Amino acid sequence: MVGGWLPVAVIAFFSLFLVSTSRCLAAEKPNIVLLFADDAGYGDFGFHNSRHFRTPHLDALAKSGVRLTQFYVTGATCGPSRAGMLSGRYQQRFGYEEINVPGIMSEHSKLLGDEMGLRTELPTMGNYLQQQGYRTAVFGKWHMGVADRYHPLKRGFDEFYGFRGGARSFYAYDNRDSTARENWIERGFEGYQEHQGYLTNAIADEACDFIQRSKEAPFFAYVSFNAVHTPMQADPQDKAAFPDLQGERRTAAQMMLSMDRACGQIIDKLNELKLADKTIVVFTNDNGGPMDKNGSSNYPFAGVKGTQLEGGLRVPGVVAWPGKLTPGTIYQQPLSTLDLIPTFVAAAGGDPATIENLDGVNMLPYLQGDSEVRPHPTLHWKMETRSAIREGDWKLIRYPDRPAELFDLSKDPSEQNDLAAANPEVVKELFRKQFAWELELQRPLFMLRRAEEGWSARRADQFRQPPAEDY
């Protein structure tokens, strides 16, 4: 009798052991929530000492983790920036250099139409985390191609709620035929149904529902708000807020307040489910604020979205991981959205060194104080003939229609004192290194053809002075 039961008991024991071990391994992998703003100004956050905008939930997140004071995107506009972040590679390496919003920027883009998107042979952040055993989801703005083959569910994500394009109304469309399909709210694949209420709130509700349903296993939620991108539309409940501000500046503050509240709702859900202590939460933004389009402020930096001044490229960055990162600390060396994939993979127990062609680094040794070397000795940016390179604290900006400019960011982060004439050898060396990097790149696939030559240079001139602190 004993002999008959023994094999069954042994099998049952090992089955329970394997299930228990599997659960333990899953429990060791942190959940990951990436909160991502759209066109927000660097200076428009409480944790960046904004005098007018209120972001209490994000301020609390910054106090609970590490604030990155020199955090960069890979491009100064939405689409290229997101392509770099989601692939972990400089987007210029695979030709996603110029185009931003399909269909509205140029005749060339109108001809290409649905052909524009993040190349399908490239793994995404979602793919890498699926390989680590994560359930993955996107909420909000996708902007990586509107054709079906570019759809998030075909690019490493298990769930999608949002819209495929780059901008849309924050209110539901009464008549979907009045706008392009890429702007329609979609659940899953082609499950089109407009949201109820204000879109920022709907995105938060859907993210919280996903977290609730996924709490038993590691999950990755990419929460891609379209706030505070145009159109400038505030949540009705915030219409009376910020009476001391005027026009678009006031509306931007109201939209930011709504987005901050949505971030707080998601963080509250993690706390409610007792998941906060085993969840990495990152907050950042896709590029600098456009200022003249949405009333944002990039104080204390010069430049705006679309320029390679600091105001176009440097964005807020917060990383919180209870028990792993010291609360209330500041990391002051340059880091990049390129670093998110290797950081997430490493946190999940994988080895980012085994992934070919990544341009980023695992941030954890730097944020945990285990490495004091500079994570990125050199960073590069490029859009057609315009480019920038940062090596150490030197930054060179190359224009198509004027001499290059050189700045020492350690002494002049607002880029007001051009040192090119006084340092010709530094200029020469940075040109050489930038050209060497450009030889590694693929020719741009989707090139803009603006009617005005020198558009970016003139835009840089327009916003050469940093905005006033109390703007």
Q: What are phi and psi of 90, to 5 degrees?
A: -55, 125
CATH number where 419 lies: 3.30.1120.10
Distance CA 199, CA 313 (A): 27
Looking at the fold, whether 369 and 250 belong to one and the same domain comes out as yes
CB 13 within 8 A of CB 325: no
pTM, full prediction:
0.92
CB 279 within 8 A of CB 33: yes
How far is the first Cα of the chain from the last one, in angstroms, to the nearest whole number? 85
Distance CA 43, CA 36 (A): 16
Distance CA 352, CA 358 (A): 8
- Residues contacting residue 432 through CB under 8 Å, at least 6 positions apart: none
Which position has the token pair 């505030």? 234
Single out the residue in 314, 348, 376 at which a domain terminates. Answer: 376
Looking at the fold, whether 411 and 366 belong to one and the same domain comes out as no
* pLDDT, position 455: 53
Would you put residue 392 in left (φ > 0), alpha (ψ -120 to 50) or beta? left
Looking at the fold, whether 389 and 437 belong to one and the same domain comes out as yes
CATH number where 314 lies: 3.40.720.10
Domain range enclosing 244: 28-376
CA dist 437 → 130, 378, 441 (Å): 31, 10, 7
Q: Is residue 16 included in any domain, yes or no?
A: no
The tens-digit pLDDT sequence of the chain (471 residues) is: 445 544 444 444 444 443 333 344 445 899 999 999 999 999 999 999 999 999 999 999 999 999 999 999 999 999 999 999 999 999 999 999 876 645 444 444 455 567 789 999 999 999 999 999 999 999 999 999 999 999 999 999 999 999 999 999 999 999 877 788 999 999 999 999 999 999 999 999 999 999 999 999 999 999 999 999 999 999 999 999 999 999 999 999 999 999 999 999 999 999 999 999 999 999 999 999 999 999 999 999 999 999 999 999 999 999 999 999 999 999 999 999 999 999 999 999 999 999 999 999 999 999 999 998 999 999 999 998 899 999 999 999 999 889 999 999 999 999 999 999 999 999 999 999 999 999 999 998 876 554 434 556 667 788 989 988 766
Looking at the fold, whether 274 and 335 belong to one and the same domain comes out as yes
Distance CA 96, CA 90 (A): 9
Looking at the fold, whether 236 and 312 belong to one and the same domain comes out as yes
Q: Is residue 21 included in any domain, yes or no?
A: no
CB 316 within 8 A of CB 343: no
Would you put residue 73 in left (φ > 0), alpha (ψ -120 to 50) or beta? beta
357-360 LR contacts (CB < 8 Å, sep 24+): 357/89, 357/93, 358/88, 358/89, 359/88, 359/89, 359/90, 359/93, 360/88, 360/336
Residue 437 CB burial class (10 angstroms; 0-12, 13-18, ≥19): middle
Q: Is residue 14 included in any domain, yes or no?
A: no
Looking at the fold, whether 444 and 327 belong to one and the same domain comes out as no
Looking at the fold, whether 340 and 401 belong to one and the same domain comes out as no
Which position has the token pair 């010291």? 326
Looking at the fold, whether 371 and 399 belong to one and the same domain comes out as no
CB atoms within 10 A of CB 438: 13
Q: Is residue 18 included in any domain, yes or no?
A: no
Looking at the fold, whether 298 and 397 belong to one and the same domain comes out as no
Q: Is residue 11 included in any domain, yes or no?
A: no
Single out the residue in 331, 352, 376 at which a domain terminates. Answer: 376
Q: Is residue 225 included in any domain, yes or no?
A: yes
Number of structural domains the chain divides into: 2
Distance CA 173, CA 313 (A): 33
Looking at the fold, whether 97 and 128 belong to one and the same domain comes out as yes
Q: Is residue 468 included in any domain, yes or no?
A: no
Please report how the helices 199-213 and 247-272 are oriented relative to each other, as an axis angle in degrees rounded to 10.
10
Looking at the fold, whether 209 and 78 belong to one and the same domain comes out as yes
Single out the residue in 327, 345, 376 at which a domain terminates. Answer: 376
Which position has the token pair 């050469």? 464
Looking at the fold, whether 324 and 384 belong to one and the same domain comes out as no
Q: Is residue 469 included in any domain, yes or no?
A: no
* pLDDT, position 6: 45
The three-state DSSP-derived secondary structure of the chain is: CHHHHHHHHHHHHHHHHHHHHHHHHHHHCCEEEEEEECCCCCCCCHHHCCCCCCCHHHHHHHHHCEEEEEEECCCCCHHHHHHHHHHCCCHHHHCCCCCCCCCCCCHHHHHHHHHCECCCCCCCHHHHHHHCCCEEEEEEECCCECCHHHCHHHCCCCEEEEECCCCCCCCCCCCHHHCCHHHCCEECCCEECCCCCCHHHHHHHHHHHHHHHCCCCCEEEEEECCCCCCCCCCCHHHCCCCCCCCHHHHHHHHHHHHHHHHHHHHHHHHHHCCCHHHEEEEEEECCCCCCCCCCCCCCCCCCCCCCCCHHHHEEEEEEECCCCCCCCEEECCCEEHHHHHHHHHHHCCCCHHHCCCCCCCCCHHHHCCCCCCCCCCEEEEEECCEEEEEECCEEEEECCCCCCEEEECCCCCCCCCCCCCCCHHHHHHHHHHHHHHHCCCCCCCCCCCCCCCCHHHHHHHHCCCCCCCCC
Distance CA 126, CA 344 (A): 11
